[in-house]
Structure 1
Amino acid sequence: MSKRKTWGELRQRRLEKPAARAGYQHAQLAYELGRQVRELREARGLSQRELAERMHTTQSVIARLEGGGSKPSISTLERVAKALGTSVDIRFGSPVAAGY
């Protein structure tokens, strides 16, 4: 009889593969960007629709962005920042193993 693996064990095993790790890191970044946009929008008392109107886009675009389901360009992030009255600050973090 085999022992069932926990979600954490399965996740760790999958993340050993470089392609899976890269995909996970991308999803994590998209989610974090979306979380920050949502928090800024809510702090300013705006609905997704109101933010979309300020950006001349649709509410569904904002929903995808906030949910981490899109890969926004720098120009899109600049439009978000302008609509929210803030700036875009891009920086590099700690070094990670490159795998080569």
Structure 2
Amino acid sequence: MSNKTKTTKTIPFGRLSAEWKKDPAFRAEYERLGPVMELAFRLAEFRHKTGLTQAEVAKRMKTTQSAIARLESGKVDPGLKTLAAYAEAVGARLKVDLVAS
């Protein structure tokens, strides 16, 4: 009997999002959703950079992994308290800014 270790191949998030953005349908929807998608990608990107899983962030926020998945997918419009809690969970600080259009 072989004692092989099962490995999982991972793809860096930045490379994955760059690939998605090449798809015209994805890009059109991304642009339509604008700031919501930008925020969602920023959350997931920051979490990936810190090496945390959605489950680990959820535990720190006292919520569920599926709630974190919804945040990172852009399917919900989070409030400032939720964003601040997410930032704290990933070892960051929330900064809100307005920019000229």
Separation in structure 2 between the aligned mates of residue 60 and residue 30 of structure 1, nearest angstrom: 18
Please report how far the alpha carbon of residue 87 of structure 1 lies from its aligned counterpart in structure 2 after TM superposition. 0.9
Structure 1 segments, 4+ long, off by >2 Å, are none
Aligned residues: 73
How far apart in 1 are the matches of 2:40 and 2:52? 15
* Corresponding position of 2:35: 29
What is the aligned partner in structure 2 of residue 21 from structure 1?
A: none
Counterpart code for 1:63: A
- Identical aligned pairs, as a percentage? 37
Secondary structure of 1:65's aligned partner: helix
* SS in structure 1 of the partner of residue 34 of structure 2: helix
Structure 1 residue 40: deviation in Å? Answer: 1.0
Aligned to 1:18: none
Q: TM-score, normalised by structure 1?
A: 0.67
Instruction: Give the unaligned 5+ runs of structure 1.
Output: 1-6, 12-23, 96-100
How far residue 32 of structure 1 moved from its aligned partner, in angstroms, is 0.9
Alignment of 1:32-43 (within 5 A): 32-43=38-49
Deviations 1:36-92 (A, max 9, x none): 111111111111111100110111111111111110000000000110111111111
Q: Which has the higher contact order (CA 8 A, sep 6+)?
A: 1
Query: Which one has a bigger Cα radius of gyration?
Result: 1
Give the aligned CA root-mean-square deviation in angstroms.
Answer: 1.8
Partner of 2:65: 59
Name the amino acid aligned to 1:88.
Answer: L
Gaps of 5+ in 2: 1-23
Aligned pair 1:89/2:76, yes or no? no
TM-score (norm 2): 0.66
